[in-house]
């Protein structure tokens, strides 16, 4: 997971981050790296009896590999493409004034995401791989073909989009409350759920390094405030930390705290 401070530029992965916009910035790198980390994605069509009777290659779709901290797209690229997480996890976030940033989502397998339409007032989002990830890149005009030729992928996408909608509704709800403690608690729950392993005492250890500054970058806050809130959560018995940025979360209690704090405002 990248621990770059907000405003810094993480290293790039499969996509370019030049000032070019949209697929004009993506397609040259796809062609250049196709023999390396990118493999053309072929979807199969099932026959009436369930057998693979036909293979229809989707020539413009590609599966790209990303390392932790690699940028999938920056605020000025990624347009005209649909991105589908096949494995791993991606952080989608916005840069805020004064060098801060805030998460729009932590996206797991089968989640669909796109770049914002920056022709209006939107400033564009940034997508960054948190762990080793593979992402299917599909031009918007090819999406219907991909869905039609891969029912399994289509079903997974529906599940992922439903989950994404729920996450966005939750994000809006928590932003309206304007309480850093709630945003921090929800982020810790998400990280513990996605990257957690049981610690044997009712706590779940987040298995990727998480620093105070990286948490601050996720929730639109600063390191000092996050450190203070973590101390409060630890005093309440909802989490604890140890060396090497290891954080342990009591998910049930943290979830109850987030609910009660949200609806008591």
pLDDT, tens only, 137-156: 999 888 888 888 888 878 87
Tens digits of residue pLDDT in 87-138: 998 999 988 887 788 888 888 888 889 887 756 666 789 999 999 999 999 9
**66 shares its domain with 143:** yes
Nearest to 102 by CA among 188, 180, 190, 218: 218
**35 shares its domain with 121:** yes
Q: Which residues contact 115 (CB under 8 A, 6 or more apart)?
A: 22, 73, 77, 78, 79, 81, 124, 125
| Confidence at 169, pLDDT banded by 50, 70, 90 | low
Q: Which residues contact 132 (CB under 8 A, 6 or more apart)?
A: 65, 66, 67, 68, 87, 88
- Identify the pLDDT of residue 53: 33
User: What are the distances in angstroms from CA 118 to CA 72, 82, 122, 172?
Assistant: 17, 15, 5, 20
Nearest to 90 by CA among 170, 14, 203: 14
**99 shares its domain with 217:** no
**186 shares its domain with 94:** no
- Identify the pLDDT of residue 158: 81
CA distance 183 to 237: 18
- Identify the pLDDT of residue 153: 79
Tens digits of residue pLDDT in 212-259: 998 998 888 899 999 999 999 999 999 998 876 789 999 999 999 988
Q: Which range marks the domain in which residue 60 is found?
A: 23-151
* 39 vs 117, residue with greater confidence: 117
User: In this structure, are residues 39 and 250 in contact, taking their beta carbons and an 8 Å threshold?
Assistant: no
**61 shares its domain with 144:** yes
- Identify the pLDDT of residue 39: 38
**142 shares its domain with 180:** no
* 6 vs 116, residue with greater confidence: 116
Q: Residue 2 falls within a domain, yes or no?
A: no
- CATH code of 204's domain: 1.10.10.10
H-helix or E-strand spanning residue 243 = none
CA distance 21 to 172: 28
**88 shares its domain with 129:** yes
Is the pTM higher than 0.75?
Answer: no
**182 shares its domain with 217:** yes
Q: Is the dihedral of CA 191, 195, 199, 202 positive or negative?
A: positive
Number of domains in the chain: 2
CA distance 68 to 130: 5
**115 shares its domain with 37:** yes
**145 shares its domain with 185:** no
Average pLDDT on 183-211 reads 89
């Amino acid at each position: 997971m990248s621990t770059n401070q907000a405003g810094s530029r993480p290293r790039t992965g499969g996509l370019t981050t030049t000032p070019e916009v949209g697929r004009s910035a993506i397609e040259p790198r796809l062609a250049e790296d196709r023999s390396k980390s990118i493999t053309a994605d072929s979807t199969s069509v099932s026959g009436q009896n369930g057998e693979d009777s036909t293979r229809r290659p989707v020539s413009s779709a590609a599966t790209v590999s990303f390392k932790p901290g690699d940028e999938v797209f920056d605020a000025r690229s990624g347009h005209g493409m649909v991105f589908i997480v096949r494995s791993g996890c991606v952080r989608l976030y916005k840069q805020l004034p004064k060098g801060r940033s805030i998460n729009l989502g932590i996206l797991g397998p089968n989640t669909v995401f796109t770049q914002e339409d920056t022709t209006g007032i939107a400033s564009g989002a940034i997508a960054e791989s948190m762990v080793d990830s593979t992402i299917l890149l599909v031009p918007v005009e090819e999406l219907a073909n991909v869905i039609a030729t891969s029912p399994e992928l289509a079903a997974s996408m529906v599940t992922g989009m439903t989950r994404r909608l729920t996450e966005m509704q939750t994000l809006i709800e928590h932003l309206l409350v304007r309480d850093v403690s709630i945003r921090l608690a929800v982020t810790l729950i998400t990280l513990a759920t996605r990257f957690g392993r049981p610690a044997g005492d009712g706590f779940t250890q987040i298995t990727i390094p998480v620093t105070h500054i990286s948490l601050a970058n996720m929730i639109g806050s600063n390191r000092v405030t996050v450190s203070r809130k973590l101390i409060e959560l630890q005093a309440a018995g909802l989490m604890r930390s140890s060396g090497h940025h290891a954080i342990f979360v009591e998910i049930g209690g943290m979830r109850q705290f987030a609910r009660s704090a949200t609806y008591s405002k």
